[in-house]
Amino acid sequence: MKGKILIVEDEAAIREMLGYTLMKDGYAFEEAADVEQAQEIIAGNKPDLILLDWMLPGVSGVDYARRLRNRSETKHIPIIMLTAKGEELDKVRALDTGVDDYITKPFSTRELLARIRAVLRRSIREETDTLIEIQGLMLDPDTYRVTARGEVIDISPTEFRLLHFFITHPERVYSRAQLLDQVWGQNVYVEERTVDVHIRRLRQTLASYGYDKFIQTVRSVGYRFSDK
Ligand code: CA
């Protein structure tokens, strides 16, 4: 599953179309016809992104977006606003409320999915875009640069992502399938032994600095990162 998206839209036909599109692309989704229903869903389980219709009965999408932004529990949930043609002038206002993006109806499936991907990618980056340092091994997610005691290490993007995932999820064992999902992403067809190949390379890269010991093999289960 790529993530869970909450659709807030009063028109059943559009809701259905959105749900179908998301499901086909591998997202989970929930539906709300108004802000009240949306609130109930969010209180139960926070979505990874909200598709929010501009014109809703009762509380409007714009007001709701503002409300979500003002609360600490919901202010980090990305929002894409759905607007109709006549509402385009109000787009500036929408962005003012802090929504991440907007899309004008009618839109193509491809455009919608591209916007969703972009917004999700951005929000993940914002959460993880900080320098990480463990015993002199430093990762900069912004530049994909790794340094070992100040010396820049030559590392491929895949190995960077692998190392970044490990370092941000220490002391837990991950199977090859889990690592594929987390690092390569779902809907990507890669064989599980690819993980072994990249782990081997990553260890070789880290070995000259003695950091290869961080990446541990857990027999018949998978791998674990540990600096203990
Ligand atoms: Ca509407």
User: For residue 97, how many other CB atoms are within 10 A of its CB?
Assistant: 18
Residues 6+ apart with CB under 8 A from 26: 1, 2, 186, 187
- Whether residue 26 is found in the same domain as residue 86: yes
Question: What's the pLDDT score for residue 36?
Answer: 95
Residue whose tokens read 């043609």:
85
Pair 123, 136 in one domain: no
**CA of 70 relative to ligand 1 center, distance in Å:** 23
Based on the domain organization, do 203 and 122 belong to the same domain? no
Are residue 154 and residue 61 in the same domain, yes or no?
no
Q: Does residue 121 share a domain with residue 26?
A: yes
Q: pLDDT at position 187, please?
A: 60
- 147 in the same domain as 90: no
Ligand 1 centroid – CA 133 distance (Å): 48
Cα–Cα distance between 69 and 185 in angstroms, integer?
A: 29
Q: How many domains does the chain have?
A: 2
- Over the chain, what is the mean pLDDT? 87
CA 71 – ligand 1 centroid, Å: 24
pLDDT value of position 12 = 96
Residues 113, 192, single domain; the answer is no
Query: Residue 61 C-alpha to ligand 1 middle, in angstroms?
Result: 9
Same domain, 36 and 121: yes
- The reply to whether 183 and 164 lie within a common domain is yes
| Residue ranges in the chain whose pLDDT is less than 50 | none
Question: How far is ligand 1, taken at its centre, from the CA of residue 93, in Å?
Answer: 17
Domain C-terminal end among 108, 127, 146: 127
In the prediction, which pLDDT does 196 show?
93
Q: Please tell me the predicted confidence (pLDDT) of residue 175.
A: 93
**Statement to judge: residues 123 and 94 lie in one domain:** yes
Domain containing residue 11: 4-127
Residues with CB under 5 A from ligand 1 (ion): 10, 53, 55
Cβ proximity of 101 and 80 under 8 Å: yes
User: Euclidean distance between the first and final Cα of the chain, in Å?
Assistant: 32
- Of the residues 103, 127, 151, which one is the last residue of a structural domain? 127
What pLDDT sits at residue 92? 60
**186 CA to centre of ligand 1 in angstroms:** 32
Q: Which two tokens stand for residue 102?
A: 């907007």
Q: Are 24 and 121 in a shared domain?
A: yes
pLDDT, residue 181, reads 81
What is residue 219's predicted lDDT score, i.e. its pLDDT?
92
**Looking at residue 179, which CATH number applies to its domain?**
1.10.10.10
Q: What is the pLDDT of residue 90?
A: 64
164/81 Cα distance (integer angstroms): 32
Ligand 1 centroid to Cα of residue 114, in Å, is 22
* Residue finishing a domain among 60, 93, 127: 127
Helix ranges (DSSP H) in the chain: 12-24, 35-44, 61-69, 91-96, 109-128, 157-168, 176-179, 193-207
- Rounded Cα distance between 216 and 203, Å, is 10
Å from CA of 222 to ligand 1 middle? 48
Do 114 and 163 have their domain in common?
Answer: no
Q: How far apart are CA 170 and CA 143, in angstroms?
A: 22
Q: What is the CATH number of the domain that holds 79?
A: 3.40.50.2300
Record the pTM.
0.57
Q: Return d(Cα 28, Cα 6) in angstroms, integer.
A: 9
Tens of pLDDT, residue by residue over 70-117, are: 887 888 889 999 988 666 556 666 666 778 888 888 899 999 999 999
CB 47 within 8 A of CB 68: no
